[in-house]
Structure 1
């Protein structure tokens, strides 16, 4: 994810331990799913820009910087931090399982992942088609408290892989570690333009270099910022939120952030693969380029054309048994944002 100007992220061109000595410890700051709006913006300002935009091929200079991408089958190991109802877990699990699902009618989550798969490493190998659920760890008792810093996020992961009781497997090659925090957990910079971030763990803290992402449930702290468009910022009068496809604005909002982070972990796991920008400590990655775009015509402050179910819920792709609303990602072959619900496919 793109840094928001407060913390910088290094490019890992040196061995991990040496890099820790020379470079600052800063995960990639996350995207925020709501459009970039002025505090006095009106609903007409938001939805009045329905031009075909979907990113800017004229100005975007996405480049490959010779680092690895996740070409081996990807296994997502999940840490549920705090108290999580079973129904919420089911929504997130099914989304992850749907990334590799076959036989789902278009527009599908797997169709969305095929754009991510187009990215390759220096040998020409593509990002893996396979994304599967791995093992899970529940941390119901908030072992590191209800207020986490960026570095203590890594300590939570260390606890999950080193606990005596059912530790998560240590899987540097195939594993992606997904830390999900409950609505009553605050994380450094959460809600302040940050809804999630990804990076890699430091051997000095965790003992290994493991790609990981954190995403928070914003339902209590800042739904208008991080669960958009199923919740809207208080400062925009007259704007109505959309109806969430799974009936839970916080979790449905998390799904798009999780997708965003997994896509960027796959294409830039060690901060030295696919990103735009001259400053490697301030990268713009493949999902950053499509912030707030969910359908054809999206761009600026318009989300694009989405789908509506019979019960009034809004979505843009189908999973195995559920529907989801997920932002698009950058397609470097055609140089604009694409998604499975595009009208021109």
Structure 2
């Protein structure tokens, strides 16, 4: 019994000593950290600053495509192309979801009925198709395009707002119309799905080529 009691006292003493050492080490580390950490200061480089009333214009971006380099594998790096498309219903729908949404500028014609009854989805399909055409024909910025390299007009973006023959600003063109839903479209997909796809620039005729 005496041996057991002594063991318990010894174990308690070791535990208390360990807690004391841990507490001292933590306090010492905190004090050292406070002493060595330097405040982060911004330095003014004597450049002009903006003051007064400043107007801000938000730039809509329905999507984008580009390229980047992958990590080195066996001493070699390779390029890859990518596409990003935003939600057309929440991100500038008047531009990114037209003609299924009221336009933000230009002729204010009534919006068309979306073929899948989803303005955001049908707008994203238009933008994805446009960017896919641009990615295929100008994946790394040195392919087919018009204008400056920083803001190129590509296969689909060279034909903005054109979806069928007879198109003009504010009018998407003479599209097909579903007799049941009244939705406008120009392409048929699997399982009876209907879509609206943008016109593509035809280099052989220097015109915008449409599906209908």
TM-score range, shorter chain: 0.5 to 0.7
Aligned to 2:53: none
Partners of 1:334 and 1:326 in 2: CA distance:
20
Deviation at 1:319, TM superposition (A): 1.2
TM-score (norm 2): 0.63
Partners of 2:144 and 2:154 in 1: CA distance:
7
Q: 1:201 aligns with which of 68, 81, 105?
A: 68
Classify the secondary structure of the residue corresponding to 2:89: coil
Higher Cα Rg, which structure: 2
Aligned to 1:339: 210
Segment of structure 1 superposing worse, 244-253 or 213-222: 213-222
**Structure 2 gap segments, 5+ residues each:** 1-57, 72-76
Aligned to 1:273: 143
Classify the secondary structure of the residue corresponding to 1:241: coil
Q: 1:230 aligns with which of 93, 100, 115?
A: 100
Aligned to 1:306: 175
Higher percent of residues as helix: 2
CA gap 1:251/1:305 in 2 versus in 1, 3 angstroms? same
Partners of 1:329 and 1:320 in 2: CA distance:
22
Aligned to 1:61: none
Classify the secondary structure of the residue corresponding to 1:270: coil
Q: 1:292 aligns with which of 157, 161, 183?
A: 161
Deviation at 1:231, TM superposition (A): 1.0
- Across the aligned residues of Structure 1 and Structure 2, the Cα RMSD in angstroms comes to 2.3
Residue pair 2:100, 2:123 contacting (<8 A) in 1 also: yes
**Structure 1 gap segments, 5+ residues each:** 1-190
CA gap 1:243/1:274 in 2 versus in 1, 3 angstroms? same
Residue pair 2:106, 2:169 contacting (<8 A) in 1 also: no
Deviation at 1:218, TM superposition (A): 2.5
